[in-house]
Amino acid sequence: SAALGIAVDEGLIQGVDVPAMSFFDAYEPDLSDPRKAAMTVEDLLTMRSGLDWNEMISYDDASNSCIQLEASDDWIRFVLDHLMREDPGTVFDYNSGVSVLLGKIVGVATAQRVDHWAEERLFTPIGITDYHWKTTPRGEVDTEGGLYLSAHDLARIGYLFLRGGMWDGEQIISAEWVARSTAPTVSDIRPTNDRQNDGYGYQWWVPDHDGERTLVFAGNGYGGQFLLVAPDYEIVAVFNGWNIHGGARASTWRALQERIIPAIQSGP
């Protein structure tokens, strides 16, 4: 999302209302369903693609669409070949496949692989020099969950967004993109598992918001990876973990809201 936002800022992508399928001409997607042709980049960013996707089940379940994606040879085509289930932009349905498409869109728009683009325009300017980003069997970048960063470097991403896209006096990402990314564009998400009714922006969770105002935004990842940002308190909190089997004895998912902020409010 951040890498795509920089491409939008530089005019390489003409806004989020551009039809998403316009970047995939080389794949000749089946657009006989007008709903797929109408799908926009923003629909992908906000997980409202309308695609028939099944990821709100255990990742140990072979019918999970994300697991099937990762087992496929061509990740891009696997996602593009899915039929539509809803009108795009109407229903939130968490879909790792659309994050893969977003990475490809950045690559097409910038004529660079998304990891190279991110390194040049995002990572290097904010001091991230050591990272690993997985690739798919076809050499695409795994933008649905393959980026490995240290806790401190992940915190740099949070701090960049906390500061409205500014780093050491340089505007890395526009303040407008940061605000749109971390606003609860989607605020009527159906609760699932142990989650409450979160909000969602441009690939960012907004677990706490008051109407249109963001109180906490977060990059919540598989296995216990949490990047939590509380703008009112100027806090960035990062937790690394890899608990992918069974339940955790203690979760850090609400640690910022339930432990850190109350401790600050109560004082020493």
Give mean pLDDT in consecutive 10-residue pieces for the chain, a chain of 268 residues.
98 98 98 98 98 93 97 98 97 96 98 98 98 97 95 98 98 98 86 64 94 91 90 96 71 89 87
pLDDT of residue 223: 83
Residue 52 CB coordination number (10 Å) = 13
Burial of 19 (0-12, 13-18, 19+ CB in 10 A): middle
In angstroms, rounded to a whole number, what is the distance separating the alpha carbons of residues 256 and 228? 7
Across the strands, what pairs with 141? 135
Q: Which two tokens stand for residue 47?
A: 């997980």
Tell me the C-alpha to C-alpha distance, in Å, between residue 12 and each of 41, 44, 111: 13, 17, 10
Helix (H), strand (E) at residue 179? helix 175-181
Q: Are strands 170-171 and 199-200 parallel, antiparallel or unpaired?
A: unpaired
Angle subtended by helix axes 2-9 and 151-162, to nearest 10: 40
Residue 43 CB coordination number (10 Å) = 22
Whose CA is closest to 265, among 226, 230, 237?
Answer: 230
pLDDT of residue 193: 47
Work out the widest C-alpha separation in the chain, in whole angstroms.
Answer: 63
Beta carbons of 217 and 182 less than 8 angstroms apart:
yes
Residue ranges with strand state E in the chain: 132-133, 147-148, 166-167, 170-171, 199-200, 205-210, 213-221, 225-230, 235-239
- Model pTM score: 0.94
15: left (phi over 0), alpha (psi -120 to 50) or beta: left
